[in-house]
Amino acid sequence: MVCDSHGNGDCAKAETVPSPKRTDETVVSLQKNGSMDYNAAITGCGLYSPSRVLDNHDLEKLIDTNDAWIRSRTGIRERHIAGPDETTSSMATIAARRALQDAELDPRDLDLVICTTTTPDYLLPATACLIQSRLGATNAGAFDINAACVGFIYGLTTACQFIRAGGAKRVLVVAGETLSRFVNWEDRSTCILFGDGAAAVVVEATTQSAGVLSTVLGSRGDVEGSLLIEAGGSAMPATAETVAANAHTVRMRGNEIFKLAVRAMAQSARDALSKAELSIRDIRAVIAHQANQRILTAAQEALGISAEQMFVNIERFGNTGAASVPIALTEYIQSNEIDVGENLLLVAFGGGLTWGAVVLRWADIAAVKLERESMLRPTRQYLKTG
C-alpha cells in the first residue's frame, strides 16, 4: 500500500501507482519535482570549546593511568571541560551565533532550530527551545534529537527533509554535549575519552545541484546495554542508590563497540556514496565521528582512503558525542579552501545503537545568499506594510 507524499488519502493499491524516483539519490532530479525543487546546502558554521583544558597529565592525578597509555589506545592528548556556569544550551548558543554570523543570517529569518544532544540541560524544556529563545529566533520552531554520537547526521538529514518538503527554507542544526558531567571519573575506560563542546551549521534552500546529495540512517536497539546511561529515565528513576552506584554515568563495552563502529561506518559510507552515484575517489575529505583513533584508522582502511583524506582532530578534543562531527566539519571548513562542487563525506556511529552517513557537495554560498534574499523579500515587504 502507498500513500501520497503528505500522508493524505486512503492509500491506493501499489500496482496502480508507479514507484517514484527517490529524491535523495540524485540532486538533479530535485529541480524536476514541482514543489520539491530545493536542495539543502550548508551556508555557515561555527563551534565553541570551553576554555578549560584537561590533558592526560591531569588525568594521571585522578586515576591510575598515564599519557602514553591513553594516547596509544585512543589518540587523545587533551579534552575541553565545561565550566561551572556552562551548559549544553549555553555552549550551543555561542556556536549557533557564530554559524549565523558566518552565514550572514539574522536569527529572526530562521524557520527551524534542531538541537542534537545526549546531555540536555533539562528533560523539559527541550534544549533547542532554550537556544531558540537566547538567539531571538522568534519565527522558528524548535525540537531536540537524541541519536547520541550520530545526532548531527540525523539532525542534518531532518533539516534536509524539511527543506525538500517545503516546510522550511532556513534551518539551524546545532549539536552540543556536556559529557564531563555524565562520566565516572574513577572509571579509566570511559573518563579518558569524553570532552565537552558544541558546533552548529546553517542549512538553506537552494536550486543548485549541490548541498546534501544523499543520506543513510541506521539503528539497532541496544538491548544488550553495550553503551548506555542506565539511570535517570522512567525505567530507572533517580534514587540515592542509583547515584551511589554511578548509574547516571556512561557505561560502555569497548571491544564490542569497536567492531560494530568500524563495520557500520564503513557500510553506511558506501551506501551513501552509492545513493549519490559517487565513489570514494570523488570525495575530497571524510569527516568521521572522533570516537577513538583506532576506530578512525580502521574505518580509513576499510574505505581504502589515505590518512590525509580522513580528517582527524581527536587529539585535541576527545570524543564530544553529537558535537564531534560538526566540530570536525567546522575546523575542516575553516582551515581549508573548499571549491564549489567538491564533495565531503560525513559518517558516524553511536549509542542507540545508531549509525549514518551524509554526502555533501559544496555549494556556491554567495549564490545561495542571493537566492535567500529573493525568498525573504516578499516576507519583509509584507511585515513592513502589514
Q: 364 is written with which cell numbers? A: 556556491
Residue 125 has pLDDT above 60, yes or no: yes
Cα(90)–Cα(130) distance, integer angstroms: 9
Angle between helix 127-135 and helix 88-103 axes, rounded to 10 deg:
50
- Residue 64 grid cell: 591510575
Tell whether 1 is covered by a domain. Answer: no
pTM reported for the whole predicted model: 0.87
Mean pLDDT of 351-372: 94
pLDDT over 70, % of the chain: 88
Task: Decide if 137 is inside a domain.
Answer: yes
**Residue 252 within any structural domain of the chain:** yes
Is position 2 within any domain? no
pLDDT tens digits for 212-231?
Answer: 999 999 999 887 888 888 88
Provide mean pLDDT across the span 355-373.
Answer: 94
Would residue 238 count as lying in a domain?
yes
> Is residue 36 over pLDDT 70?
no
Give the residue numbers spanning the domain of 46.
27-386
Residue 72 in any domain: the answer is yes
For the chain, the C-alpha Rg in angstroms (whole number) is 21
Neighbours of 77 (CB within 10 A): 17
Contact (CB, 8 A) for 199 and 220: no
> How far, in Å, CA of 72 to CA of 83, rounded?
28
What amino acid occupies position 301? E
Q: How many domains does the chain have?
A: 1
Nearest to 204 by CA among 236, 230, 171, 241: 171
Which string of b and e fits 31-64 if b means at least 16 CB within 10 Å? eeeeebebbbbbbbbbbbbbeeebebeebeeeee
DSSP string, 274-323: HHTT--GGGEEEEEE--S-HHHHHHHHHHHT--TTTEE--HHHH-B-GGG
Q: Is 14 part of any domain? A: no
Residue 185 has pLDDT above 90, yes or no: yes
What mean pLDDT do residues 3-20 have? 34
User: pLDDT band at residue 255, thresholds of 50, 70 and 90?
Assistant: confident
Query: What tens digit of pLDDT does each residue of 79-111 get?
Result: 999 999 999 999 999 999 999 999 999 999 999
Give the number of other CB atoms < 10 A from CB of residue 116.
31
Does 80 reside within a domain? yes
Catalytic residues: 149, 289, 319
Cis peptide before 107 (omega within 30 of 0): no
DSSP three-state, residue 226 = coil
Rounded CA gap, 347 and 264, in Å?
9
Give 136-165 pLDDT, tens digit per residue.
999 999 999 999 999 999 999 999 999 999
CB 349 within 8 A of CB 260: yes
Using an 8 Å Cβ cutoff, are 30 and 164 in contact?
yes
Q: CATH number, domain at 331?
A: 3.40.47.10
Give CA–CA dist 269/347, Å, rounded.
6
Digit-coded pLDDT (tens) for 274-300: 999 999 999 999 999 999 999 999 999
Is residue 6's pLDDT more than 50?
no
